[in-house]
Chain A
Amino acid sequence: MRDFPAFDDPGSVQGAAPILCASGVRFHAGGSALIDGIDLTLAPGRITVVMGANGAGKSLLLRLLHGLILPDSGSVLWRGRPLDRAARAAQAMVFQRPVMLRRSVLANLRFALAVQGVRGAERTRRAVQALSRANLADLAHRPARVLSGGEQQRLALARAMAGAPELLFLDEPTASLDPASTQAIETQIRDARASGVTVVLVTHDLGQARRLGDDLVFLHAGRVAEAGPLHATLARPHSAALRAWVEGRLFLDTSCAT
């Protein structure tokens, strides 16, 4: 497989040690290769957008990189070392459908902080701070599950950020949200990047990719069809799959698939 160790982009942090490195990652299920040998390197402080059709393996790749699923072969290294508890503590993930505990908005944040070992008054202080950053302070004492989809997703993102992660995985966080909620989420993502957090964002929204992304990884049939600095790659797509995607055509050719 091709390797994309560093992106040829003047804006990239050349020379900075990658924080996450995947090599030869494969994952099979039901007799077919869902992730078929992916090599990927994440430079710190950048937003990498992962795109591709349904079933291309985007969500699965995120779970493999985050360590929720173990690959059948290949490796995922966090700062050069296998994923362990410390690596997990330095990462966070927001799922497409936010998972809210059956508690208040504030209690959801306090739970995440408690798991990270934040105690006592500091826990409450950071929870309240995270809520006000996400503009959710007014809803602090409401049961989290009565919030609207957009509010729940903002809360999920705030909860993920409350633990001060170095790497944030976002799996289509705005997939079913209206423009106002999408804008609020995108602001949170920009804030995260501004504070030095590395972001991996799965999205189907080309506009969102352009608004937020530094780098692009385009998946097709479980492989990296194309990767590189986002704007340059979208401007001159090499693969037929990405070209069709950018031009808004339906790409149904599966010749790349094994």
Chain B
Amino acid sequence: MNGFSGVLGQAFGLILAWDADLVAIIGLSLRVTLSAVVIACLVGLPLGAVVGAFRFPGRVLADLLLNALMGLPPVVVGLLVYLMLSASGPLGPLALLYTPTAMIVAQTILVTPIIAALTRQAIRDLDREYDEQFQSLGVGPVARVAALLWDARFSLLTVALAGFGRAVAEVGAVLIVGGNINHVTRMMTTAIALETSKGNLQLALALGVVLLALALVVNAAVMAVRGLAVRAAHA
């Protein structure tokens, strides 16, 4: 226990001292993850809304695909992105492998189906309520999607936060395509894996504490948003 409490103490020491390495790793993690979540929202929100709001041939297949892609194994995504970006891959000339951009690509691929599938469900539930009124008003398809997205805004904010939670905790894909290069592609999760194996437990634990704190903040934000929605009687 002494060993553990000692390491924990040193870890908090690193956090409180605002250790430069620690800050760089947290900064890169947030930059990569937030970029991936924003791109995933730009793609996943409209995609999920369209699948949720309209009946079209192949909708069941689209539902199935979105649900299946939600469970994409991160290491498989990492491997596929690696193959695309490696020197001999189709996107090799872009020289993106082992860059933050490669990690953003991998995380975007992981998170987009999650955002799209959760959006589809939120939009479909809302559309059931609005459908006849929209038909009666003669709402066109574009206005329909826009109105559903706007009216589901509180649910969709929690969807985005769920995507963020998934991305920030992910390790397999970013490790493969980023390479965990110090000061270049070292993220919180990849650093924890590496530092633990090196026996540098203080930094690993400090990063773990920060990750847990982030998870706490994200969940608190989700609850706050829900509370806000209920208070505003928009839910």
User: A residues touching B (Cβ–Cβ < 8 Å)?
Assistant: 63, 66-68, 85, 88-89, 91-93, 95, 99, 101-103, 111-112, 114-116, 143, 145-146, 163
B232–A143 touching, CB < 8 Å: yes
3 A-B pairs with the lowest CB-CB distances in the bound complex, closest first: A99-B133, A102-B234, A146-B233
What is the bound-complex CA distance between A92 and B234, given in angstroms?
25
B150 to chain A: which residues have CB within 8 Å? 103
Give the residue name and chain of the B residue nearest to A67 (CB): B135
What is the bound-complex CA distance between A68 and B233, given in angstroms?
28
B136–A102 touching, CB < 8 Å: no
B4 lies within 8 A of chain A by Cβ? no
B233–A99 touching, CB < 8 Å: no
Q: Which of A89, A111, A112, A143 contacts B233 (CB 8 A)?
A: A143
Interface string of B129-173 (1 = CB under 8 A from A): 110110111111001000100110000000000000000000000
A163 to chain B: which residues have CB within 8 Å? 137
Q: Which of A92, A143, A146 contacts B136 (CB 8 A)?
A: A92
List residues of B (200-235) whose CB comes within 8 Å of A's CBs. Answer: 232-235
| Subset of 17 A-B contacts with CB under 8 Å | A67-B135, A68-B132, A85-B138, A95-B132, A99-B130, A99-B132, A102-B151, A102-B234, A103-B151, A115-B138, A115-B139, A115-B140, A115-B143, A116-B137, A116-B138, A143-B232, A145-B233
Give the residue name and chain of the A residue nearest to B126 (CB): A102
Give the residue name and chain of the A residue nearest to B137 (CB): A115
A99–B129 touching, CB < 8 Å: yes
A102 shortest CB reach to chain B, Å: 4
What is the bound-complex CA distance between A67 and B132, given in angstroms?
10
A146 to chain B: which residues have CB within 8 Å? 233
Given contacts A95-B133, A143-B232, contact A101 B138 (CB under 8 A): no
B234–A143 touching, CB < 8 Å: yes
Q: A63-B132, A145-B233 are in contact. List 5 more A-B contacts (CB 8 A).
A: A91-B136, A99-B129, A99-B130, A99-B133, A114-B143
B135–A112 touching, CB < 8 Å: no
B144 shortest CB reach to chain A, Å: 10
List residues of B (43-88) whose CB comes within 8 Å of A's CBs. Answer: none
A91 to chain B: which residues have CB within 8 Å? 136
Among A99, A114, A145, the most chain B Cβ lie within 10 Å of the Cβ of: A99
Give the residue name and chain of the B residue nearest to A113 (CB): B137
Q: Which of B136, B139, B143, B233 contacts A93 (CB 8 A)?
A: B136
A126 shortest CB reach to chain B, Å: 15
A111–B138 touching, CB < 8 Å: no
A114 shortest CB reach to chain B, Å: 8
Given contacts A99-B132, A101-B151, A103-B151, contact A145 B137 (CB under 8 A): no
What is the bound-complex CA distance between A168 and B133, given in angstroms?
13
Among B130, B140, B143, B234, the most chain A Cβ lie within 10 Å of the Cβ of: B234
A89 to chain B: which residues have CB within 8 Å? 138
A101–B136 touching, CB < 8 Å: no
B233 shortest CB reach to chain A, Å: 4
What is the bound-complex CA distance between A68 and B138, given in angstroms?
10
A68–B151 touching, CB < 8 Å: no
Q: Which of A68, A111, A143, A145 contacts B135 (CB 8 A)?
A: A68
B17 shortest CB reach to chain A, Å: 46
A68–B139 touching, CB < 8 Å: no
Among B137, B150, B233, the most chain A Cβ lie within 10 Å of the Cβ of: B137
Among B132, B133, B232, the most chain A Cβ lie within 10 Å of the Cβ of: B133
Give the residue name and chain of the A residue nearest to B143 (CB): A115
